Amino acid sequence: MKLLILAANGQIARIVEERILTEDKFKDIDLVLLLRRASHLQSLKDRYPDRVTLVDGDINNKQVVVDAAKGCDMIFSAVVDHDDAGNNRPTKNIIAAAEANKISRVIETSLLGIYDEVPGKFGKWNRDFCFGGNPEGSSPVNADQLLEDSGEDSGLDYTTLRLPWLNNRPEAKYSITHRHDTYVDVSGSRQSMADVVLKIMADPTFGSRDSLGIADPDTDGLTRPVYFKKNRPAQPAQCLNLMTLSVLNHHFLHYSIPYPITFSSTSLMTSSEMSVTAMR
């Protein structure tokens, strides 16, 4: 089996790649890794020359994605489609690549809140922060609809992964909700997100034609994301102003970091431990 990973240098993508290449149950899976600068993953290619193919390219380029998908059996996009609403080039290119290469199984990364399914104070905060108060018409919402339409029209077997606010806890601990369920939790580890991708790799029927919400059940009921210590949310009090954040997000999104960035100085850190959380 051959898996194409788009935005292959992202943090979740790197976890997926490492586990596929080191765990026996995935020993029959080879990887095609598409990223802007293939040299960033050269060390992985050097370690596994027979199982890793590197492709230098941009997921916004249709022909690059179609060509990279040749001979592949599955596509995993490890980045949220934040292309201009109405364009959604990454998702359209994935669908085109799947159709051109007769690939039936696709996994695409998205984020919580695309159905306005996150309740309570946190739901409002997330909606305001991620969607300017209204998810309708946003790129992630349109991307999910494109996949659903393709599933109905051409039989594409897709899964949308709705990621929470992420942290780097060294654990895979999560609950899963489905398309029409309330999104009950707040944060989750990148290890957990990668684990769900690998569940689909092990059993492609898992999450078939569904949208999976993934988050740590220990964060249920919290009003802000958990980045650091167990069950203690990051404090939102010391954040950069929205104009500064928008400039930073524009810069980081150019390099395929899909989530907003927050700078927090909290009771969990000293003043010298200001933290940048790039949600990827």
The predicted model gives 78-95 an average pLDDT of 95
Rounded to a whole number of angstroms, the distance between the first and last alpha carbons of the chain is 26
Per-residue pLDDT at 84: 86
Element (H, E) at 77: strand 74-77
- Tens of pLDDT, residues 208-253: 999 999 999 999 999 999 775 554 444 333 333 333 333 344 333 4
The predicted model gives 153-173 an average pLDDT of 97
Per-residue pLDDT at 135: 97
pLDDT at residue 124 greater than cutoff 90: yes
- Tens of pLDDT, residues 24-38: 999 999 999 999 999
Q: Where are the domains of the chain?
A: 2-223
pLDDT at residue 259 greater than cutoff 50: no
Per-residue pLDDT at 226: 78
Structure tokens, 78: 């490890």
Distance, in Å, from the CA atom of 86 to the CA atom of 73, rounded to the nearest integer, reads: 28
Q: 107: which DSSP letter? A: E
**What would the CATH number be for the domain defined by 2-223?**
3.40.50.720
The predicted model gives 89-117 an average pLDDT of 98
User: Which range is least confidently modeled, 83-87, 156-160, 248-252, 263-267?
Assistant: 263-267
How many C-beta neighbours within 10 Å does residue 65 have? 29
Full-model pTM: 0.83
Between residues 242 and 21, the one the model is more confident about: 21
**Mean pLDDT of the residues in the chain:** 85
Per-residue pLDDT at 30: 99
Per-residue pLDDT at 241: 35
pLDDT at residue 125 greater than cutoff 50: yes
Distance, in Å, from the CA atom of 52 to the CA atom of 30, rounded to the nearest integer, reads: 6
Per-residue pLDDT at 114: 98
Per-residue pLDDT at 228: 54
Q: 36: which DSSP letter? A: S
